[in-house]
Amino acid sequence: MICIDNSEWMRNGDYSPSRFQAQADAVSLICGAKTQSNPENTVGILTMAGKGVRVLTTPTSDLGKILACMH
């Protein structure tokens, strides 16, 4: 499971174009590498901001599904 920060601070412009986009790019690279390294590998995404944890996608090897939940 990959935990992403979707808090208000992720909108800061100190990373171009935003911290959230930089994080999304990193998640894309990590998920791609993880799912391609072994056909049995799976990745899930959850958020950390707000009143509680929110699961965006349960563990899957479908890279398209993983990337779609980030946008």
Tens of pLDDT, residues 28-69: 999 999 999 999 999 999 998 888 899 999 999 999 999 999
pLDDT tier, 14 (very low <50, low <70, confident <90, very high otherwise): confident
Range of the domain at 14: 2-68
Contact 19, 7 (CB under 8 A): no
Handedness of CA 28, 31, 37, 38 (dihedral sign): negative
H or E stretch including 29?
helix 19-37
What pLDDT shows up at residue 52?
A: 87
Residue 71, pLDDT above cutoff 80:
no
* Structural domains in the chain (count): 1
Contact 42, 61 (CB under 8 A): yes
What pLDDT shows up at residue 31?
A: 95
Among 56, 53, 50, 52, residue whose Cα is nearest residue 24: 56
What is the CATH number for 33?
3.40.50.410
